[in-house]
C-alpha cells in the first residue's frame, strides 16, 4: 500500500475561493483526525495566497475546539491563482518545503481544486481536495457543504418576500447567487413554492415569463420569482444597459465579477412595464454565505475533513473527497474540476411540473 506522511510530518490546510458555512467544521475534522496519527496541522492563511507569501498559523486542538457552528473560515480565504502570477508556483513549493509539510489539504471549489489538480499533475504534490461551495456546482460529488446553508437562508428570505408580496399584491423577485449554475435558485424555488425560476442553464423567454406570472397573478394577486445572478437576458429591451457597456471585470480565475450587474432590477423593471403590476426585487447576496452551517452541512463538512486525512494516511493523493449517495469516496481532482455540474433537464422538468 502507498504510504502517507510519517508521524513526524505535518499537514498543511488551506481554504480558497468564496467562503461558505462548513469550512470551519471541515478544518476541525482534519485537525482532530490528524491527532489520531500523531500528526500536526498547520493552517495556510488566505488560500493559495498564503502558500505563495508564506503565511501560516499553528492549528491544534485549541484552535478547533469550538468550530462546529461557526460560519466563514478561521483560515481566511482569497481568490488567488498561483498559475497566473510570475514565479508564484515555485514560491508555493518553497513554502511547502520550508514548513516541512508532508501533505496538503486544499478546501475549495472548482478554482481552488483546479490549482490543486495542476500541482498534483505538474509536481506530484501530495494534495487531497475537500469540496466546498455554496453553488453546489462541483462535478463528481452529489453535494458540497455550504449549499444547504445557503439555500436554507434563501428559502427563509423567499418566504418573507411572499408575506409582503401578498399584503401589497405585488410581484416579488428574489435574486440569489450562482454565476454559472442555478442550483441555489432551483432549490430555493422548489422549497419555497415559488411561481417561477430563472437560471443560467436555461435561455430566458421574457414573453413566456410575463404570460406565466400574469396567469399566477390573476389567481392569487401576487407572485414570487427566484432568479440566479448569472442569468443572461436575451431581450434587447431588458438587456439595455448590460451590453455594450465595455469589458466586465474578471477575477484571477477568469470569472466575471457580477457586483454591478443587477439582473433582478432589470427583470423587475421589465415585468412592471409589461404587466402594469407593481414589482419589487431583493438581492440576498453575501448573506447566503455567512452564518452558522445547517446540521446537514456541519455533518458533511466534518466527515469530509476526517476523510481527507484518511486519504493522506492511505497515500491517496491527487484525489478529492466526494459524496456519492451516503458514502464518501475518492475521485481524481482532475475529474472533479474538468467541468462544472450544471442543473440537468430532469430538475427543470420537476420544477415545471410544480409551477402552475
Ligand atoms: O463562491 C461562489 C460565489 O458564491 C458565487 O455564487 C458568487 O457569484 C461569487 O461567489 C461572489 O464572489 P465574491 O464573494 O468574490 O463577490
Angle at 302 between CA 301 and CA 308, to 5 degrees: 90
Decide: helix, strand or coil at residue 269: helix
C-alpha cell read off for 295: 446540521
Is 178 close to ligand 1, i.e. is its CB under 6 Å away?
yes
**pTM of the entire structure?**
0.93
C-alpha cell read off for 86: 510570475
Ligand 1, atom 14: nearest CA belongs to which residue?
18
Closest ligand 1 atom, CA of 133?
1
Q: Which residues pair with 67 in a beta bridge?
A: none
Q: Ligand 1 centroid vs 306 CA: distance in angstroms? A: 26
Q: Which residues pair with 197 in a beta bridge?
A: 226
pLDDT of residue 250: 78
Q: Topology of 148-288 in CATH?
A: Rossmann fold (3.40.50)
Rounded Cα distance between 286 and 272, Å, is 26
Ligand 1, atom 3: nearest CA belongs to which residue?
18
Burial 173-208 (b: 16+ CB within 10 A, else e): bbbbbbbbbbbbbbbbbbbbebbbbbbbbbebebee
pLDDT of residue 234: 73
Is 88 close to ligand 1, i.e. is its CB under 6 Å away?
no
Q: Topology of 10-145+293-336 in CATH?
A: Rossmann fold (3.40.50)
Rounded Cα distance between 106 and 12, Å, is 8
pLDDT of residue 80: 98
Closest ligand 1 atom, CA of 251?
15
Rounded Cα distance between 173 and 215, Å, is 16
Rounded Cα distance between 93 and 220, Å, is 61
Decide: helix, strand or coil at residue 185: helix
Contact 9, 103 (CB under 8 A): yes
CA distances from 151 to 28, 211, 263, 299 (A): 23, 27, 19, 16
Contact 148, 296 (CB under 8 A): yes
pLDDT of residue 242: 44
Contact 104, 11 (CB under 8 A): yes
**Is-same-fold flag (10-145+293-336; 148-288)?**
yes
Closest ligand 1 atom, CA of 286?
14
Is 17 close to ligand 1, i.e. is its CB under 6 Å away?
yes
pLDDT of residue 255: 78
For 155-201, how does the pLDDT look when each residue is reduced to its tens digit (9 = 90+)? 999 999 999 999 999 999 999 999 999 999 999 999 999 999 999 99
Ligand 1, atom 10: nearest CA belongs to which residue?
18
Closest ligand 1 atom, CA of 289?
4
Tell me the average confidence (pLDDT) per consecutive run of 10 residues in the chain, 356 residues long: 62 98 98 97 98 98 97 98 97 98 98 98 98 97 98 98 98 96 98 97 94 98 97 64 52 71 89 97 97 98 98 98 98 96 96 90
Is 16 close to ligand 1, i.e. is its CB under 6 Å away?
no
Which sequence spans correspond to the domains of the chain? 10-145+293-336, 148-288
pLDDT of residue 356: 82
pLDDT of residue 260: 56
Is 133 close to ligand 1, i.e. is its CB under 6 Å away?
yes
Q: Is 297 a catalytic residue?
A: no
Is 298 close to ligand 1, i.e. is its CB under 6 Å away?
no
Catalytic, out of 19, 111, 122, 135:
135
Ligand 1, atom 15: nearest CA belongs to which residue?
18
pLDDT of residue 246: 45
Amino acid at each position: 500500500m502507498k504510504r502517507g506522511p510519517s508521524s513526524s510530518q505535518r499537514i498543511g490546510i488551506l481554504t480558497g475561493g468564496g467562503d461558505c458555512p462548513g469550512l470551519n467544521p471541515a478544518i476541525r475534522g482534519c485537525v482532530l483526525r490528524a491527532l489520531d496519527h500523531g500528526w500536526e496541522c498547520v493552517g495556510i492563511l488566505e488560500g493559495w495566497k498564503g502558500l505563495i507569501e508564506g503565511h501560516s498559523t499553528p492549528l491544534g486542538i485549541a484552535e478547533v475546539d469550538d468550530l462546529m457552528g461557526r460560519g466563514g473560515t478561521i483560515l481566511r480565504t482569497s481568490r488567488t491563482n498561483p498559475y497566473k502570477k510570475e514565479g508564484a508556483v515555485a514560491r508555493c513549493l518553497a513554502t511547502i518545503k520550508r514548513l516541512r509539510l508532508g501533505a496538503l489539504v486544499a478546501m475549495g471549489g472548482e478554482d481552488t481544486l483546479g490549482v490543486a489538480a495542476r500541482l498534483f499533475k505538474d509536481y506530484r504534490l501530495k494534495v487531497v481536495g475537500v469540496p466546498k461551495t455554496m453553488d453546489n456546482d462541483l462535478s463528481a460529488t452529489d453535494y458540497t457543504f455550504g449549499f444547504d446553508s445557503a439555500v436554507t437562508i434563501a428559502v427563509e428570505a423567499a418566504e418573507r418576500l411572499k408575506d409582503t408580496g401578498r399584503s401589497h399584491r405585488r410581484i416579488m423577485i428574489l435574486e440569489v447567487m450562482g454565476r454559472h449554475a442555478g442550483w441555489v435558485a432551483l432549490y430555493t424555488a422548489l422549497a419555497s413554492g415559488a411561481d417561477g425560476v430563472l437560471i443560467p442553464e436555461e435561455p430566458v423567454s421574457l414573453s413566456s415569463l410575463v404570460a406565466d406570472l400574469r396567469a399566477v397573478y390573476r389567481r392569487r394577486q401576487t407572485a414570487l420569482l427566484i432568479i440566479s445572478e448569472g442569468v443572461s437576458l436575451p431581450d434587447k429591451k431588458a438587456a439595455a444597459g448590460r451590453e455594450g457597456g465595455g469589458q466586465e471585470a474578471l477575477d484571477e480565475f477568469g470569472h466575471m465579477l457580477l457586483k454591478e450587474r443587477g439582473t433582478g432590477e432589470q427583470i423587475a423593471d421589465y415585468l412592471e412595464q409589461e404587466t402594469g403590476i407593481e414589482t419589487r426585487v431583493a438581492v440576498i447576496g453575501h448573506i447566503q454565505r455567512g452564518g452558522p452551517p445547517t446540521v446537514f452541512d456541519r455533518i458533511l463538512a466534518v466527515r469530509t475533513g476526517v476523510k481527507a486525512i484518511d486519504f493522506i494516511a492511505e497515500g491517496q493523493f491527487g484525489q478529492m473527497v466526494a459524496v456519492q449517495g451516503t458514502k464518501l469516496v475518492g475521485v481524481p481532482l482532475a475529474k472533479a474540476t474538468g467541468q462544472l455540474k450544471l442543473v440537468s433537464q430532469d430538475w427543470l422538468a420537476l420544477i415545471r411540473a410544480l409551477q402552475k
